[in-house]
Structure 1
Amino acid sequence: MESTKKNLYTADATAVGGRSGHVRSATGIVDLDMSVPEGLGGKKGATNPEELFAAGYASCFQQALLVIAQRAGDKLDPGTEVKCGVTLFQEGEGYGLSAVLDIDLKAFDRDKTIDMVRQAHKICPYSVGTRGNMEVELKVQGEAIPVAPEENAGVAEKGGVAA
């Protein structure tokens, strides 16, 4: 059986110096000093991998919501917000990440918002990429919504979103 995988885009970046170094994308648009988070003894004025991951996930998830809305013939309110918190934790000798996505679609009722969030979670590349590898909690306007195990397992449905 032939694969239907079609590469759409590749982003390239280089890191030098680890968490206290520098990152630069091949395009030069990302060109940032890195630091351990300030609360863990790092310096002010620098970002960290968790902050970059949170920004990417929030943006990508919002794009997935736009696709879901468009498929349903809806439009998202321009004030729609996706907040993403990424937590770095230590467990034994290793380290890990977890994420919380908090979505406020503004214009839809809670049930419709929950449905759209679940659909977006199925197609968002970040959700697909982290599925089964890290805990991702979904919230709607600050309130956790239940996520069934099958919603956090497996591979993307057809029609994934490029972000």
Structure 2
Amino acid sequence: MSEIIFTSQATAKNGRDGHVKSDDELIDLNLVNPAANKDAKGSNPEQLFAAGYAACYDGALNLVASQQKKKIESETNAEVSFMKDSADGGNKIAVTLNIKMEGVSLEEAEELAESAHQVCPYSKATRGNIDVTLNPKVV
């Protein structure tokens, strides 16, 4: 097993229509299933996953750029879609990463986006399990 750098914890109660709280209480949210209740206020697992993936991927992108001696400004937006899975009749998720970069050409942005996807821990964890679309843009 690899060396553990740190561990984060959160507890969910009552699933998609419940509550989630991190052990340090920085995250303390009511959960709402937007497919079942569009008017209720609260977060959902896909929104939380999107926040984590966007942050992790953007960090990997900046790491890869610095390793290649490229100075960029970046912003990553993760769209996490909750979908029907035709393979088993259940549900699945898919992700689109919308990546804005300043300081590089479109070709360099595409190369950096793919390199970041190879090293991002979220990308590694989901590789082969969910569809991830990279959508790099230069601004």
Task: Output the TM-score relative to the length of structure 1.
Answer: 0.78
The one-character-per-residue Cα deviations of 1:17-55 (angstroms, maximum 9, x if unpaired) are 111110000111110000001x54244320000001011
Q: Give distance in 1, aligned partners of 2:54 and 2:131.
A: 15
Q: Percent identity?
A: 33
Unaligned ranges ≥5, structure 1? 143-163
Q: Give distance in 2, aligned partners of 1:40 and 1:99.
A: 21
Code of the residue aligned with 1:41 in structure 2: it is N
Partner of 1:8: 5
Task: Identify which of 75, 80, 89 aligns with 1:81.
Answer: 75
Residue 71 (str. 1) matches residue 67 (str. 2): yes
Q: Give distance in 2, aligned partners of 1:107 and 1:40.
A: 43
Please state how far the C-alpha of 1:10 moved relative to its aligned partner: 1.1
| Runs of 4+ residues over 3 Å off in structure 1 | none
Unaligned ranges ≥5, structure 2? none
The answer (yes or no) to whether the contact 2:98–2:134 under 8 Å persists in 1 is yes
Q: Give distance in 2, aligned partners of 1:133 and 1:76.
A: 30
Task: Identify which of 34, 42, 57 aligns with 2:31.
Answer: 34
Partner of 1:124: 120
The answer (yes or no) to whether the contact 1:36–1:43 under 8 Å persists in 2 is no
Partner of 1:61: 57
Please state how far the C-alpha of 1:90 moved relative to its aligned partner: 1.4
The answer (yes or no) to whether the contact 1:99–1:137 under 8 Å persists in 2 is yes
Partner of 1:161: none
Question: Over aligned residue pairs, what C-alpha RMSD do you find?
Answer: 1.6
Aligned residues: 136
The one-character-per-residue Cα deviations of 1:36-95 (angstroms, maximum 9, x if unpaired) are 01x542443200000010111111000001110111122222xx2111100111124311
Q: Give distance in 2, aligned partners of 1:29 and 1:43.
A: 25
